[in-house]
Structures are given as C-alpha cells and as structure tokens.
Amino acid sequence: MTAAFAVTARRIFDGSRMHADSALVVEDGKIRAITSQPDLPAGMPRSGPPVALIAPGFIDLQVNGGGGALFNNHPSTAGIRTICEAHARYGTTALMVTFITDRPELKREAITAGEQAAAQVLAGFLGLHLEGPHLSVARKGTHDPALIRPMTEADLSYLEGVAGRFGLAMITIAPESVTPEQVQRLVSAGYRVSLGHTDTPCADVPPYVKAGAGMVTHLFNAMSQLGNREPGLVGAALASPALHCGLIADGFHVDPVSMRIALAAKQGPAHIFLVTDAMSTIGSEETSFDLNGRTVYRRDGRLTLSDGTLAGADIDMLSCIRFVHEKLDLPLEEALRMATVYPAEAIGAGDRGMLEAGKRADFVVLDEQLDLLSTWIGGSCVHKSGSFADRATA
C-alpha cells in the first residue's frame, strides 16, 4: 500500500470533461478522486505547485519499436522494456508491442518475451499486437511478401494455446488469408481481431464483423480504398458501428483532408483512435535500421524502404495529438480522447483511458504548450522533464 498524495492542476481532463483548479488524488497506484483544491485534506502530500494540465496516459495499440530497438530485431523482454521506456518519454503509459510478419521461430520468441513481460508486470506493457503473417500480398505494404501466408490449423491451434499468457492480445489479419470461422475461434480465445493489409471488397467485411472482428489497422493504409462503386475496407470501416479504426496522424500516411472526412463520416459507437505505428527511431538518433533484411531510411520525418514505400512511422503519440488538434482543428478534449478513451475501448482495457475512481493512476502532466512534464504509470513517475518533482512532497 502507498499513501495517498495529490497532483494539482489548473485543468484536469478526466476523459470526459475538464475540471478547473482541481486535484488528482492517487492512492495505492489508483485514482482515488478528482476534487477541488480547497477540499484537499490538510497535510495531504502534493507533488508541487499546480501544473497546467493533467490528462489520462496515452494508449498506443501499434508500436513496432522505440529507443533504438525494433521488436522484430529484439524479440526479448529487454527489447520490450526499451520500447516501453522510450514511449513513456512522450506520454504513452500503455502500449501493444507489435510484431510484424517474420519467420515463425522469431514469432515464437516474441510471444515468449511477451509472456515474460506480462509475468514481470513490466511498466507500460499492455500486450502484443501480432500484425501478420496472415495478410494479403496485394496490400503487403512493408511486410515481406515471401513470409505472408494463409492461416493453417496448426497456426490457429498455436495461437489458441498461448492466448492469455502475454497480456492483452491483438492480431491483424486479412480476409484473403483467414476465414470467418478462424476469426471466431481467435475471438473466443481472447484475441482482438483487426482487419488490415487486405484488398477485400466491402461486401466481404460483414461476415468477419459478425465473427467478432472489431478493429481496422491503420485506416486508409494497406487496404482497399473507398471508391464510387466499391467502398472497400475504408468504406466498410467508416460505415460500421462495430469497427474501431486506428489512424496514423503524421501527415504522411493519410492526408489531413482524408482524416477530416473520415472523422466526420465514422459511424459509432466505435471510434477512430490514434496509433503511432512507431519504429525503433523514436527516442533515438538512428538514421536507418534493418527490417527483414531490408534497410529502412529515416528522412524528413518519414521512414521508407529504398523504393519509397512507407515503413512504419517516425512519430510519437503526443505529436499525433498535436497534429489532430492543430492541423485538423479538433478540440483538445477530442484529440486527447483519440489517444486515451477510444483505444482503451477498442482493446477492452477497462481500467485505463480515463481518470476515474478505481482506475489505474496512469496519467500525464502537460504545460500550456502541450509539452510533456511528466509521465505516471500506476501512480509512479516513470519520466520527468524540467523541474517537475517525481514524488509527492508535503
């Protein structure tokens, strides 16, 4: 048990609304309450003078790497720890470490690493996102076409056997390589199934939604597009109230005009949420790295193969929030929801995403310019910048 303390702020966004001149009370790693500053008990420890803004910690469901570590190249607990620590420096308090299409033996190493990270309750680790290999070669993106293949009974049995052992589980599949019956079994085992890297027509999507698929991986990218006579996966995703959609808001993967149209068109209650699709470059000085034996180059905010194909993103979650807030003119509250409330709903992380009594004390402290001052996971400060205190003081 840890004693209660308070972090005071001129504004606290709880995931639903703003609270003015309030205090976030934390106890034993969880939120106890949001209260007005005058109502704080006398003598309760405080982290320091009031800050500008407190918000829920960011949740990223697609993170390939960070801090110089790409998970496919470092499928280990150490690799996971490096990635989580790198993204915590930009406000991400929970992430799905993503393993993209690769050799089966490396996938098994990655899942073993996920099991170990979950057993250690590694700070920031939410689970694994298995992106491939059961995709469509026609929409491969940066995935190695030689490694893409249909899902077999052996593949499915293995996934069923390891389900629940590496935190939350997410898998991206293409209808071309996986049947609705296989999706139903994956969902029954506990996987959140996302459709992506597919050229599927719109009419083929509903059976997968009925089978339990509930997400779409990086909307617009590596999928059949919205056309006048064929709506594609993009059209199906925007029209379906059941499909949550990840969006890479870096200005390279999706044009801002398309982002605005998608946000206006999306049918709920499912939402569009932000993902980074970040690679190892985040939090590092890397100018290039290796992926499946190919070199990925970092230039002018983009990551590309030698032929210009985008290979993940060179962006952090706080920058994505700034992009949709400033470039798309979204209210700050909605921009923050796209990185907190909506991904928590999409992945089923009911204890995260909002600052409510009983939920995990995962939160960020920001200044007036939306620069990060500190990141807190489970009531502990895991990153600070400037002069912000890392523990409560009387």
pLDDT in tens, 366-385: 999 999 999 999 999 999 98
Spans in the chain with pLDDT lower than 50: 389-394
Q: How far apart are CA 66 and CA 283, in angstroms?
A: 6
Whole-structure pTM value: 0.96
So what's the pLDDT on residue 48?
79
User: Which residues are designated catalytic?
Assistant: 277
So what's the pLDDT on residue 49?
85
Find where tokens 């999306």 sit: 266
Beta carbons within 8 Å of 130's beta carbon, 6+ residues apart = 98, 99, 107, 159, 169, 170, 171, 172
Q: How far apart are CA 273 and CA 347, in angstroms?
A: 11
End-to-end CA distance of the chain: 18
So what's the pLDDT on residue 391?
38
So what's the pLDDT on residue 388?
54
271: its two tokens:
């939402």
6 forms beta bridges with: 25, 46
- Asked if residue 183 lies in contact with residue 210, where contact means CB atoms within 8 angstroms, the answer is no
Set out the domains of the chain in order of their start, with CATH numbers. 5-56+354-384 (2.30.40.10), 58-347 (3.20.20.140)
So what's the pLDDT on residue 220?
98
Q: How far apart are CA 101 and CA 103, in angstroms?
A: 7
For residue 345, give the H/E element and its range.
helix 341-347
